Amino acid sequence: MAKKEYVKFVDVTKCDGCRACMVACKNWNDLPAEQTEFLGSSQSHAKTTADTWNVLQFVEHENSKGGLDYLFRHSSCFHCTDAACEKVCPENAISYTEFGTVVIDHDKCVGCGYCVQNCPFEVISLKEYKDKNGKEYRKAHKCTMCTDRLEEGLQPACVTTCHTGAMEFGDKDAMIQKAEKRVQEIKDRYPNAQVYNPQGVGGTHTVYVLAEKPSVYGLPENPKVPTSAVVWKDYAQPVGKLMLGATTMALVGAFVTNKFFSKKTEQENGGESHE
């Protein structure tokens, strides 16, 4: 029997910016409050963090008619079908569930940060911890799509609390059909409206109806899994383990992963290498 896939459908044109989704996410996942800089009356966080997996983003945008639109977007993990974070993890700490969600096993995570560097949507963060001896260590955190709730037949907490109906959760094909239909309904008001379900990452399990182009919302127009990640996960790693053994390959993997996947850090530092 084919695996049934589920999707969270987000219609940004119905969102009124109430932030109930953020509160529900914090409550269900027992995430602590964070002190943040003032970003305006609507937006509390610039982006998702290790302790805030769900952020309401606010955008002021001049539309094609010269008017001003106030746009909202519920931002959290996209749960890519072909997730770059899963491919670059040298410890196999990131995996797919039966629902299509992408989750992190914190017992396996070593806090290397490669998932953070390679997520095209920048929704993964590292959290600092201290063990009983005061030694610091890190773990990667992000939205789980409330996989623990899904396992009990419940829907994600953010979906259940949305009072405007801006979010729905259900069968993948049904949700995508709803999204496509909704785009046609709002085209007169939003000529650039579109379904955002990027195929460069195999499609996502959080599918949006956007009122404007993805870049208006700070989203990549055509995100893709880095070729280096595909080569490493699908070819080099299996062959290397077969030839060298798991222990030796783990050491080689750490070296190769660092070389392949540190490009984002170099770009952020002006393209300079600090080796």
Question: Tokens for 182?
Answer: 């909704």
Q: Residue 275: which domain range? A: 226-275
Chain centroid to CA 176: 18
Same domain, 152 and 265: no
Supply the mean pLDDT for the chain. Answer: 86
- Report d(CA 228, CA 217) in Å as an integer: 27
Question: Are residues 112 and 39 located together in one domain of the fold?
Answer: yes
Q: Are strands 206-210 and 6-11 parallel, antiparallel or unpaired?
A: parallel
The whole-number pLDDT of residue 257 equals 55
Q: Tell me, what amino acid is at 2? A: A
Q: Do 156 and 145 contact (CB within 8 A), yes or no?
A: yes
> 241 and 261 in one domain?
yes
Whether 208 and 240 map to the same domain: the answer is no
Write the CATH number for 38: 3.30.70.20
Are 193 and 258 in a shared domain? no
Q: State how many domains the chain has.
A: 2
Q: Are residues 41 and 104 in the same domain?
A: yes
Q: What pLDDT does residue 82 have?
A: 95
Q: What is the pTM of this model?
A: 0.82
SS3 content of the chain, % helix, strand, coil (to 5): 35, 20, 45
pLDDT digits (tens, 9 = 90+) for 97-136: 999 999 999 999 999 999 999 999 999 999 999 999 999 9
Which stretches within 30-101 are classed as H helix?
84-88
Together in a domain, 81 and 95? yes
Which phi and psi angles does 127 have, rounded to 5°?
A: -110, 135
